[in-house]
Structure 1
Amino acid sequence: MQNLDSSVVATALPAMAADLGRDPVHLSVAITSYLVALCVFIPVSGWVADRFGPRRVFMLAIVVFTGASALVGLSQGLGTLVAARVLQGLGGAMMVPVGRLLLLRRVRKEELLTAMTWLTMPALLGPVFGPPVGGLLTDMVSWRAVFWINIPVGAIGLLLVWRFIPELEPQDPGPLDGRGLTLWGLSLALLVSGLETVGRPIVPQGVTFAMLGLGAAVTLAAIRHSRRATRPAVDLGLLSIPTFGMPMLSGTLFRIGAGALPFLLPLTLQLVFGLSASASGLVTFATALGALVMKPLIRPVLRRFGFRTVLVANTVLAAAGVAVCALFTPSWPPIAIFLVLAAGGLSRSLQFTSMATMAFADVPTNKLAAATAMTGTLQQFSVALGVVLGSLTLSAGMAWHGTESPGLAEFQMGFVLAGLVILSMLPGALRLAPDAGARVSGHKALPPA
């Protein structure tokens, strides 16, 4: 449901902008407000799950997310839309990482790769069906229907969790690090909000630079606090684990570049190529289809080559898969665009699953809640930065060319820049040990201790 929501919003964005009387590029705030809320609330998810029990928190999160989806569909202005999206982000912040935690606490390290593959395969149904379903609903009903579809999905999900997922005993997470949560939440919100408004007539530019400056200062304070606190909300010590630190730090660059694609691509097809929302959705879902096809192949690929080789080689392939979108023109047959996007989906799926699995290869069991919280926060923060990267590139190109709406050149610049950001992950991947995560991948498996 969460992945369905993420994939349909970009497809419906032009229709939302027209209905609300906003510029489609500026309406990226509908995406980033949700992602900022995820970044702010995910750090507390691990503590809440330990304190009250992950199953109970998971069920409540589904209720909040589903109810907020209904409110988004009822929004009559940008303010109410953003408020409902923030509430939706609160539900998503508890739903996704806590659901992962329920799995991780019941799986042995040797089973982790298989378990993560099974976890992500059903989740890919959202991106597979999201663009075409979102496009059809937008054209035939309204953009509001793409949010209302979450209501039956959420109701079914709640029933299945109640029926099939056993409760885990609550644990003692210790006192809540309220100061750390406040500092990290404020820093992420300020940084994303500041970047979202750079060079755009949303707020005065003085406010934008004040948010960026204050965000940087608060981030330094948050880092200092996390290093000194006994039980910090964000445990930076986890980054010293090589198999966790690399996908969290270098992997952020990959997610930023990849996160720009779902924002740029539907706008390109609708605003430049003149496709309807339905036609755009039928083309862009190729990316998720390629990802779904890749999932069963990930385990044998990692067993054969190992995490380091896969991440190094695939970084180059994934960067090329995004940058090649700059070659698309209105004269391209839709089937050709579909095939290129499907091929790119293969490499990005391999990269995402490899990083997500390796990240937990060496994390101690008692640190899983903190690790899932940090993973979720950085993932959503980088996706938010990806949307910001796309919108900033379009705004800069429009200002450079003196146009009021983005053209093909602006989108081409966005695709190339996103590909270069992905490629910048390469040095981090090269620093991995040849046997990194071998216990999980099975590649040159280490003898048991």
Structure 2
Amino acid sequence: MSLAPQSRRVTLAIAAVMFMLVLDGSILNTSLPAIAASQGVPPLALSAVVTAYLLAASAVLPLSSWLGERHGMRKIFLVGVGLFTLASLLCGLAQTPGQLVLARVLQGAGGGLLLPIGRTIALRGARKEDIVGIQALLVWPALFGPVLGPPLGGFLSTYATWRWNFLLNVPIGLIGMALLARWVPRDEPGPARPFDMVGFIGAAGGLTLFIGGVEWVSHDIGRAQGHLASVLCVLAGLATLVWTVGHLRRATHPVVSLSPFEHRSFVVSTVGGTLAATAIQSTPFLLPLLFQLGMGRDAVSAGAMLLPYFAANLGMKTVTTPILQRFGFRTVMIASGLISALSIAAFALVDAQTPWVLLISLLMVSGASRSMSMTAINTLAVADLPQHKLGASSTLAAISSQVAGAMGVAVGALVLAAMAHLGGREHLAVGDFSAAFLVVAVFNALAVVQFWRMPHQAGAEILRPRESRG
């Protein structure tokens, strides 16, 4: 089942922009020591460079759908790409930590606009039979970025300069804007909808507090004291989000509509997908650390060891649609979720004596199941939704992705720090990673429990050949 040419062009252009976005987020962590050295500050002093981006993106996310409806999706998406590209240039030219943090705030604002609107544009007006192919293309940035980012960041910081981690976005952004301007058709702004200021403040504030708090916790866990403030920040964010959900349900014109949750397939794929994505986002964070700290590899060779993981992700894209058509969403999501959970748990047995053939095989199985699982989850989320709910579903999916990304790193880092503390050690050991992988695997297993609840025929409509539709 091939995509219509116009859908393929539009989706590829959007996927390229999304790849730039995800790569930027994952490439930075390995570069922070080099950035800190060039700025003459300790690496921990630059944690604001990461946090500023997350907070700005979290604040803008609830607003993006309303802006797209008010001013046109294409226009706002181009503004987001332009803002992100300009901010990347400013990051690369920054001369002080303060300048870098301000530029990262602008980057986060651009990124918060791009995440939900890009998906809405790609799915808008798509044929039912094209949805699986579109989602397969949209998912690959989230799968490949976290795998390629750390080794690429280490390579650029080691053999060139950390500034290229940001400057690399400039040509990608400019090319993306040119392709989007050419291929994405103009859309007319929708009818004026009142702006829900209360809902926006609640959603933006809750997300900022929660995601910022989770990020804060992940930095605090290695310290002997001072955890209370970060935990209170997380709890305040959760309380604010709970209150905001109640407001959005009552509001006549909510800033983010919760109507997609009226569809069972969306509920299952969002709840289960958040759990699965937490595990899937945590794995690329843990594996390079295992290879370096547990197996004695340098940053570049540790990144190279992830290539089988990346290759399997890529290879699955050629068979995703036939597998879904043959077995259906429920069976595929349960099977790929179980395989993903078991393969993540199996990493707990990896150490410096693990045979190469076995390690490569495990990486490939994990990468393939990861790819299959996320494509199925993201496709099912929109399978039963009418066109007018796609904007809201895209915003909710982007929020889920942000939460899962922050949780994945925080959970992995928390378990590592806890195991080292219990062992009375300042440095990590292989056994610490074993515990982390087992905990992360539990998140994936919990996602499978959610998938088990879905009807057997969930999403069947979009998997039927076009000629068999009524």
Kindly indicate whether the alpha-carbon contact (under 8 Å) linking 2:325 and 2:463 is maintained by their aligned counterparts in 1: yes
Q: Is 1:232 equivalent to 2:254 in the alignment? A: yes
Deviation at 1:120, TM superposition (A): 4.0
Structure 2 partner of 1:415: 437
Q: Is 1:246 equivalent to 2:265 in the alignment? A: no
**Deviation per CA, 1:304-339, whole angstroms, max 9, x where unpaired?**
110011111111111112222222223346665344
Kindly indicate whether the alpha-carbon contact (under 8 Å) linking 2:65 and 2:256 is maintained by their aligned counterparts in 1: no
1:349 to 367, 371, 388: 371
Structure 1 partner of 2:162: 143
Structure 2 partner of 1:189: 208
Deviation at 1:429, TM superposition (A): 0.5
Kindly indicate whether the alpha-carbon contact (under 8 Å) linking 2:33 and 2:43 is maintained by their aligned counterparts in 1: no
Structure 1 partner of 2:118: 99
Deviation at 1:98, TM superposition (A): 1.4
Distance 1:258 1:28, change over 3 A: farther
Kindly indicate whether the alpha-carbon contact (under 8 Å) linking 1:42 and 1:376 is maintained by their aligned counterparts in 2: yes
| Residues 164-243 of structure 1 aligned to structure 2 (within 5 Å) | 164-172=183-191, 174-198=193-217, 199-200=220-221, 201=223, 204-243=226-265
AA partner of residue 366 (structure 1): H
Kindly indicate whether the alpha-carbon contact (under 8 Å) linking 1:38 and 1:92 is maintained by their aligned counterparts in 2: yes
| Residues 317-328 of structure 1 aligned to structure 2 (within 5 Å) | 317-328=339-350
AA partner of residue 372 (structure 1): S
| Residues 12-27 of structure 1 aligned to structure 2 (within 5 Å) | 12=31, 15=34, 20-22=41-43
Deviation at 1:78, TM superposition (A): 6.2
Distance 1:140 1:331, change over 3 A: farther
Q: How many residues align?
A: 446
2:301 to 272, 279, 290: 279
Distance 2:402 2:24 in 1: 14
Q: Is 1:378 equivalent to 2:397 in the alignment? A: no
Larger mean Cα displacement after TM superposition, 388-397 or 301-310: 388-397
Distance 1:225 1:253, change over 3 A: same
2:28 to 9, 13, 32: 9
2:136 to 114, 117, 125: 117
Deviation at 1:169, TM superposition (A): 1.5
Deviation at 1:406, TM superposition (A): 2.5
**Deviation per CA, 1:183-225, whole angstroms, max 9, x where unpaired?**
1121122123333334544994342243233223212211110
SS for the counterpart of 1:142 is coil
Distance 1:402 1:27, change over 3 A: farther
Kindly indicate whether the alpha-carbon contact (under 8 Å) linking 1:65 and 1:88 is maintained by their aligned counterparts in 2: yes
SS for the counterpart of 2:43 is coil
2:283 to 261, 276, 288: 261
Distance 2:309 2:192 in 1: 40
Distance 1:190 1:103, change over 3 A: same
Normalising by structure 2, report the TM-score: 0.86
1:438 to 435, 457, 460: 460
| Residues 354-369 of structure 1 aligned to structure 2 (within 5 Å) | 354-369=376-391
Deviation at 1:89, TM superposition (A): 2.1
User: Which has the higher relative contact order, 1 or 2, with Cα contacts under 8 A spaced 6 or more apart?
Assistant: 1
Distance 1:274 1:85 in 2: 33
- Provide the aligned C-alpha RMSD in A: 2.8
Distance 1:77 1:269, change over 3 A: farther
SS for the counterpart of 1:425 is helix
Deviation at 1:75, TM superposition (A): 5.2
**Deviation per CA, 1:158-182, whole angstroms, max 9, x where unpaired?**
2222222221111125112221121
Deviation at 1:125, TM superposition (A): 6.3
Deviation at 1:362, TM superposition (A): 1.2
Distance 2:115 2:232 in 1: 32
Normalising by structure 1, report the TM-score: 0.90
SS for the counterpart of 1:309 is helix
Distance 2:227 2:80 in 1: 36
Deviation at 1:394, TM superposition (A): 2.0
Kindly indicate whether the alpha-carbon contact (under 8 Å) linking 2:265 and 2:381 is maintained by their aligned counterparts in 1: yes
Larger mean Cα displacement after TM superposition, 9-18 or 87-96: 9-18
AA partner of residue 42 (structure 2): G
SS for the counterpart of 2:318 is helix
Distance 2:115 2:237 in 1: 26
SS for the counterpart of 2:244 is helix
Distance 1:170 1:76, change over 3 A: same
Unaligned ranges ≥5, structure 2: 1-19
1:402 to 424, 427, 430: 424
